[in-house]
Amino acid sequence: MQLLNILNIKGTITLKSGLHIGAGDVEMHIGGTDNPIIKHPNTQEPYIPGSSIKGKVRSLLELKSGLVVKTDGNPLSARLLKGLKGEERQECETILKLFGSSGADGEAVAELGPSRVSFADCPITKNWQEKVRQSRWSLTEVKSENSINRIKGTAENPRFTERVPSDTEFAFSVCLKVLKPEEEQPLLEALLQGLKLLELDALGGSGSRGYGKVQFRFEDESIQKRFESIDLFSRGGKL
């Protein structure tokens, strides 16, 4: 294997709804929310960790592959390759080459090579920072929620969740290592498919309740056109 190229795919992620990527329950500040989001420790500006995008894109690609029934919900690993043939094997290999595999099966992992893809953390774009500053908006919002008692029909369990507001823009960057010429296009295609799946699904917490809808806009026009033309499902997402 030889490093032939590193494709750097850059663009913008625009939030189409509030985004909550939790900072955990490590500490709670007086007057703070009980569900804070992750922020840069120096600037206190929210950012999207590369791990959030990588993890969600991988899990969606694995779900689409249908191979997850064989892993009991765990991520795909090189061990699974032994029992696969044809298209299933190819799909599994593509995911493992892109995102990496656990070290349980040394030989199989060595054949796959290193993880090809590397997602950077996504900071808020300079444009958005400026817009927020000029408009005197806040970089975050707090959404209150509750649950409804099914018998009384009244609100219970109020909670306050911090989110990054809709329309916020983040700078997105992902690197793809090309180690074999014949791998470049299939891996790029799979990566773009994963990002398309993410657009259709959601990033961060509470996705089924409307949080975390995102839209990608790529700097490179050819990548943008290719991304827009991706048809993920045979029925094109229609009934």
Partner 1 sequence: MKLYAISLEPISGFGTPLKGDTLFGHFCWQAAYDSKLLNGGLDKWIDCYGKKPCVVFSSAMPYFSGQSTPYAVKRPDLPRSYLFNKLKEKPNKREQISARKEDSKKKWMLLEKSLTINLDKPLFRTDADLAGMVAGENLSGSFRCSFEQPHNTINRLTLTTGEGAFAPFAETVHFYMPETELALFVLVDETATDLERVCTALERMGQFGYGKNASTGLGRFRLGSLREEVSLPSGQAFNACYALAPVVPERGRFSKAFFQPFVRFGKHGDELARSPHPFKNPVIMADEGAVFLPATEATEEVFLKPYIGTAVKNISKALKSSVVQGYAPYVPFHLEVNS
Terminal Cα-to-Cα distance of the chain (whole angstroms): 45
d(CA 29, CA 25): 11
Comparing CB distances to partner 1, the nearer of 3 and 151 is: 3
Comparing CB distances to partner 1, the nearer of 145 and 228 is: 145
CB of 48 to partner 1, least distance (A): 9
Comparing CB distances to partner 1, the nearer of 62 and 169 is: 62
DSSP 53: H
Per DSSP, the residues of 66-89 read TGGGGTTTSPP-GGGGGG--HHHH
Contact 14, 223 (CB under 8 A): no
Comparing CB distances to partner 1, the nearer of 101 and 154 is: 101
Structure tokens at 3: 């490093």
Comparing CB distances to partner 1, the nearer of 109 and 214 is: 109
| Helical ranges in 15-105 per DSSP H | 50-65, 86-99
CB of 3 to partner 1, least distance (A): 4
CB of 37 to partner 1, least distance (A): 11
Binding site for partner 1 (CB under 8 A): 1-3, 6, 8, 22-24, 26, 38, 40-43, 49-51, 54-56, 59, 62-63, 68-69, 71-75, 99-103, 106, 109-110, 112-115, 117-121, 175, 177, 179, 207
Q: Which of 66, 34, 48 is nearest to 169 (CA)?
A: 48
CB of 152 to partner 1, least distance (A): 28
